Amino acid sequence: MHKQDIQTIVSAARETADSIVGAREWKTAEDASAMHDVIFWDMLAKRLPNTNIVDLLSAFD
């Protein structure tokens, strides 16, 4: 997969997590942040199932 494709997927996952988390009221900022992380990483795992975190991070170096 090309670097640009990975960056597009990461951006889309971030935007989706932002939208979902921002659409509801949270008791604490920590709860919102934790849910954002869960959504973001879940979306990446689904879109990039054979990519590990090291490969993903190296795409941005």
Task: Domain ranges for the chain, please list them.
Answer: 3-58
pLDDT (0 to 100) of residue 18: 96
Say whether pLDDT at 60 is over 80. Answer: no
What does the alpha-carbon distance between residue 7 and residue 51 come to, in Å, rounded to a whole number? 13
| CB within 8 Å of 7: residues ≥ 6 apart | 59, 60
Report CA torsion sign: 29, 31, 37, 40: negative
Residue 58 has pLDDT above 80, yes or no: no
Radius of gyration of the chain (CA): 13
pLDDT score of 54 = 83
Q: What is the pLDDT of residue 61?
A: 63
